[in-house]
């Protein structure tokens, strides 16, 4: 055990932000022995279940298609940090799983960290962080001291047991946040092939895993309390397309109600989901995706907090000098909108990590670093669909293009207009160049003279910017 060890830099966490911070440290010239990553997740072996993977491979533009297969004969070594979003997409596929392949970079396997002199301290849960003495204490009593700390603890999944939901501790009620969760899901899908699955939640996890479960021959019902799916981003018109598309694929959707209890058999396995409206759904598997909470408990009372996260400046330094927060846990100044925000997304996790390390190394060398100027970006892939969104989803909206769910290759989008400017842009089925075009629209916020003309121009408007 690495008890009593001292490091110049410590990254606490084992997800996307940690991996990208490590890569940036290596780029900036970290010396062997200066940097450690401490994570409660372990190095281990797991089946290579290509349950989430296109059988002919995939590209960064299209992580998977509807041509799925399951092959569980291979094994692949897992190590933190890894591309956490791949758990619902390219899980365990060796070319896409480890950071930093999600952004087109090299795959950082254990050997990479060893070659760079970066120490991976895994299976180590930190239970106390004393920022005044710069000491982290593990559950086993080991102490680690540092000069610079990067908090990359991410979020914990919200569980129905947190609310005391009756029967929510039954077997095969599953979540998806870490490797262990994904392994349990793979095992359940294999064991319950052809069975009934209920997905609780209509956001990213709900939509992506409903597609995965359906493609693996389960009878899928998706349940959520909101009036339409992905309400934090989608308009009613956008949501209508995806709900109809999923329905056409055989996914049943129940809106405006929620799970209030579960039945189980004598072995403790879930058998049914009880809904608030009185409906009872048979279930062999239940997957819950109702959000997460930033993991900031270790630092309560020691750093300034705002909007549910740890407050930082534009370089991700907290109110405590030498302590940085990156990824999900950071509430930072969003320059283009002149306000503080906390963003839960892989793109921000990657970029905030790189910004923090550049700022750390810049401060050491006396060089200035530009302020973080982030363009909000979200994306998802399911079935044969792939969408991207840039900017802000406030204001009046217009829908353009082919949003017929029965189309062989639907391509449609939406703009958000406020105070005469386009603030946000969404596109389903776009090419890389078209996605770049809508990103530029959201970044430059062009003026719109006529809303009806904008609707007629659709994607052509973006191509002119």
Q: What are the tens digits of pLDDT across the range 345-400? A: 999 999 999 999 999 999 999 999 999 999 999 999 999 999 999 999 999 999 99
**Residue 297 DSSP SS3:** helix
Cα–Cα–Cα angle for 160, 166, 168, rounded to 5 degrees: 40
Alpha-carbon distance 6 to 34, whole Å?
Answer: 9
CA quadruple 365, 370, 376, 377: dihedral sign: negative
**What is the C-alpha to C-alpha distance for residues 201 and 225, in angstroms, rounded to an integer?**
8
The answer to whether residue 212 is domain-embedded is yes
Residue of 327, 331, 328, 308 whose CA lies nearest to 318: 331
Q: Look at residue 63 in the predicted model and tell me its pLDDT.
A: 33
21: which 2 tokens? 């911070």
Helix ranges (DSSP H) in 249-395:
346-365
Single pTM value for the model:
0.85
Q: 109 and 25 in one domain?
A: yes
Asked, for residue 378, whether it belongs to a domain, the answer is: no
**Domain encompassing residue 174:** 160-290
Element housing 372 (H / E): none
Residues 122 and 24 in one domain: yes
- Is 137 within the bounds of a domain? yes
Look at residues 259, 290, 321 and tell me which one is the last residue of a structural domain: 290
Q: What is the CATH number of the domain that holds 314?
A: 3.50.50.60
149 shares a domain with 166? no
Is the same domain home to 9 and 91?
Answer: yes
Are residue 9 and residue 145 in the same domain, yes or no?
yes
What is the rounded average pLDDT of the residues 445-462?
94
Dihedral sign of CA atoms 275, 279, 282, 287 in order: negative
Please give the structure tokens belonging to residue 238: 């956008």
Rounded Cα gap, residues 36 and 39, in angstroms: 10
Q: What is the pLDDT of residue 408?
A: 93
Per-residue pLDDT tens over the stretch 73-127: 333 344 445 444 444 444 433 333 444 544 455 666 778 899 999 999 999 999 9
Say whether both 208 and 256 belong to one domain: yes
- Domain assignment present for 51: yes
Q: How far apart are alpha carbons 62 and 3 in whole angstroms? A: 44
| 169, 240: one domain | yes
Examine the domain organization and report whether 165 and 75 are in the same domain.
no
Average confidence (pLDDT) over 119-136 = 96
Q: Would you say residue 399 lies in a domain?
A: yes
Q: Does the residue 285 lie in any domain?
A: yes
235-253 average pLDDT score = 98
- Judged against a pLDDT cut of 60, whether residue 341 lies above it is answered with yes
- Judge if 30 and 126 occupy the same domain: yes
Nearest-10 Cα torsion for 54, 56, 42, 80: -90
Beta bridge partners of 176: none
pLDDT digits (tens, 9 = 90+) for 256-305: 999 999 999 999 999 999 999 999 999 999 999 999 999 999 999 999 99
DSSP 384: T
For residue 395, the domain's CATH number is 3.30.390.30
Residue 436 reports pLDDT greater than 90 = yes
Residue 121 domain-assigned?
yes
* Assigned domain for 374 exists: no
Q: Across the strands, what pairs with 399?
A: 414
Alpha-carbon distances of 243 from 78, 89, 176, 204, 211, rounded to whole Å = 35, 20, 22, 13, 12
Overall average pLDDT of the 419-438 stretch: 97
Which of 241, 256, 290 is the C-terminal boundary of a domain? Answer: 290
The helix, strand and coil proportions of the chain, stated in percent and rounded to the nearest 5, come to 25, 30, 40
Q: Which residues contact 443 (CB under 8 A, 6 or more apart)?
A: 336, 375, 390, 391
Domain boundary among 290, 318, 345: 290
Residues 126 and 187 in one domain: no
Q: What is the pLDDT of residue 93?
A: 36
> Are residue 255 and residue 342 in the same domain, yes or no?
no
Tokens, residue 364: 């050491």
143 shares a domain with 182? no
Encode pLDDT of 219-243 as tens digits. Answer: 999 999 999 999 999 999 999 999 9
The percentage of the chain sitting over the pLDDT mark of 70, rounded to a whole number, equals 85
Number of domains in the chain: 3
Mean local confidence (pLDDT), 1-17: 86
The answer on pLDDT for 179 being more than 80 is no
């Amino acid at each position: 055990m690495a008890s009593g060890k001292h490091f110049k830099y410590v990254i606490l966490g084992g997800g996307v932000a940690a991996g990208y911070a490590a890569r940036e440290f290596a780029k900036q010239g970290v010396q062997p022995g200066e940097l450690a990553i401490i994570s409660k997740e372990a190095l281990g072996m797991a089946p290579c279940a290509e349950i989430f993977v296109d059988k002919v491979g995939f590209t960064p533009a299209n992580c998977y298609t509807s041509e799925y297969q399951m092959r569980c004969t291979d094994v692949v070594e897992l190590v933190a940090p890894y591309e956490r979003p791949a758990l619902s997409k390219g899980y365990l596929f060796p070319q896409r799983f480890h950071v930093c392949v999600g952004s087109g970079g090299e795959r950082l396997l254990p050997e990479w960290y060893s070659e760079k002199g970066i120490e991976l301290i895994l299976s180590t849960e930190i239970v106390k962080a004393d920022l005044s003495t710069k000491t982290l204490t593990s559950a086993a009593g080991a102490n680690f001291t540092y000069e610079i700390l990067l908090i990359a603890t991410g979020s914990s999944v919200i569980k129905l047991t947190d609310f005391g939901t009756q029967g929510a501790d039954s077997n095969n009620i599953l979540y998806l946040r870490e490797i262990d969760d994904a392994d349990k899901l793979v095992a359940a899908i294999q064991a319950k092939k052809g069975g009934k699955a209920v997905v609780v939640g209509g956001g990213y996890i709900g939509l992506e895993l409903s597609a995965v479960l359906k493609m693996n021959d389960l009878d899928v019902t998706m349940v959520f309390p909101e009036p339409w799916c992905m309400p934090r981003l989608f308009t009613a018109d956008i949501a209508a397309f995806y709900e109809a598309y999923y329905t056409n694929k055989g996914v049943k959707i129940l809106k405006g109600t929620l799970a209030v209890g579960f039945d189980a058999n004598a072995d403790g396995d879930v058998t049914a989901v009880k809904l608030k409206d009185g409906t009872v759904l048979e279930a062999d598997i239940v997957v819950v995706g109702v959000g997460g909470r930033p993991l900031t408990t270790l630092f309560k009372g020691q750093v300034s907090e705002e909007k549910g996260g740890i407050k930082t400046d534009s370089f991700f330094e907290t109110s405590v000098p030498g302590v940085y927060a990156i990824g999900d846990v950071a509430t930072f100044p969003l320059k283009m909108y002149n306000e503080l925000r906390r963003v839960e997304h892989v793109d921000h996790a990657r970029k905030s990590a790189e910004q923090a390390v550049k700022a750390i190394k810049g401060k050491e060398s006396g060089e200035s670093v530009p302020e973080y100027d982030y363009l909000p970006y979200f994306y998802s892939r399911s079935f044969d669909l792939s969408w991207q969104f840039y900017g802000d989803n406030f204001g009046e909206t217009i829908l353009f293009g082919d949003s017929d769910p029965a189309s062989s290759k639907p391509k449609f989008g939406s703009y958000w207009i406020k105070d005469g400017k386009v603030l946000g842009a969404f596109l389903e089925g776009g090419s890389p160049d078209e996605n770049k075009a809508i990103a530029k629209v959201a970044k430059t916020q062009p003026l719109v003279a006529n809303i009806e003309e904008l609707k007629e121009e659709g994607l052509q408007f973006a191509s002119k910017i």
